[in-house]
Amino acid sequence: MQRTTQAERAALALDGGTPVRARLLPYARQSIGPTEVEAVVAALGSDWLTTGPRVGEFEQRFAEATGARHAVAVSSGTAALHVAMAALELREGDEVLVPALTFAASANAALYVGARPVFVDVDPGTLLVDPLDAARKLGPRTRALVAVDYAGQTCDYAVLQSFCAASGLELVSDACHALGALDELGRVGTLARLNTFSLHPAKHITSAEGGVVTTADGELASRLRTLRNHGIDTDLAQRERTGAHHYDVARLGWNYRLTDLQCALGSAQLAHLEEFVARRAHLATRYAQALERHELVRPLRRRPGAGHAWHLYVVQLELERLRADRDRIFRALRAEGIGVQVHYRPLPLHSLYRERLGTRAGDCPVAEAAYQRLLSLPLFPGMSDADQDDVLHALDKVLEAYRA
């Protein structure tokens, strides 16, 4: 048997050494068990594959899980943001404040309805939207603010609610990272007039693809249901129950329906939400303890009073103490079998917004500086403590190799 030497094990895999893990540990992964499989099989054997009774059942359970009065299921987190903007009747010429450090959907939803996203910088410690910069970017055409619960930590909704009320703005919570979090003001899903969620496999629960909008406003909920179904005033299940065929296209809408198959999966996943969030919190605590006094990497700051659902565990590299940039560290860790990721490249730097909106480097300097240092470490409920130890071992191995 060929044996590896201590020197070979110490050498970075990027340079031909032995990797910490032979098989890549992803940054995120869904957790699917027998109850989910049984629920989907039962749906397959039913009379309804889409737009049936399981949609309403899932929406009711989601509303109960978040404390919301109404939950409206749609086909993706992006669709959730789109119908939220449309339900608020935003239109051409309106402006929407959007944090620079988020996924493209947070801004694209404004573009879909003809509005213009205006990018707001973030707090350097938490990477949550900076209310002071939001106030600086406020203009006469500003109609709404999108609050992104980055990595799973809730924004300062007390401040944002007050700011929006004083400025006449609609507050939309992009809570796609934060399902299951409890803020000092209440549960995520109740903190804004409209609250949007993603059910992508990387998120806390999944329906394969899917999204949800929650609201306390019954009129808005009705409008959302119409918008997700081509703008039609009733769905097929409602017409079947009443034996009717007539329907009316009341407004311009889209085919953003979530299927009964997906809702069967989503309902089964919801039963494990607390367990999944607790496991994420356990792993986050272990990361925090291991990295508390680390000289080469810095976890994000926790905001006092914030809730956290730990979608991501994001750290910032102390580049001043390293002989490599973030991209080199990224490649080295992936070579070690650790599937780190970067969340996100600031939106003003992307070609679409440069060309359409005229954004440029320097628009949001805090977000841009943070981007150069960001790494998301693997974090998901099915990850074992031993898996996490591999992450920490690889992180130390790589960072020590590049210590200045």
Residues 265, 267, 269, 270: what is their CA dihedral angle, to the nearest 10 degrees?
A: 160
Task: Please give the DSSP secondary-structure letter assigned to residue 381.
Answer: T
Separation between Cα atoms, residue 92 and residue 156, nearest integer Å: 29
- Angstrom distance (rounded) from CA 113 to CA 34: 41
Q: How far apart are CA 337 and CA 27, in angstroms?
A: 11
Number of Cβ within 10 Å of residue 285's Cβ equals 11
3-state class of 268 per DSSP?
Answer: helix
Q: Count CB-CB contacts under 10 A for residue 290.
A: 17
SS3 293: coil
397 flagged as catalytic: no
Query: What is the β-pairing status of strands 170-174 and 182-183?
Result: unpaired
Angle between helices 105-112 and 77-87 (to 10 degrees): 40
CA distances for 21 relative to 24, 214, 328, 387, 401, angstroms: 7, 41, 18, 9, 17
> Tokens 């006092």 correspond to what residue?
304
Sorted by sequence, the CB contacts under 8 Å of residue 6 that are 6+ apart come out as none
The answer to whether 195 touches 175, Cβ cutoff 8 Å, is: yes
Catalytic residue, chosen from 177, 203, 204, 326, is: 203
The catalytic residue positions are: 203
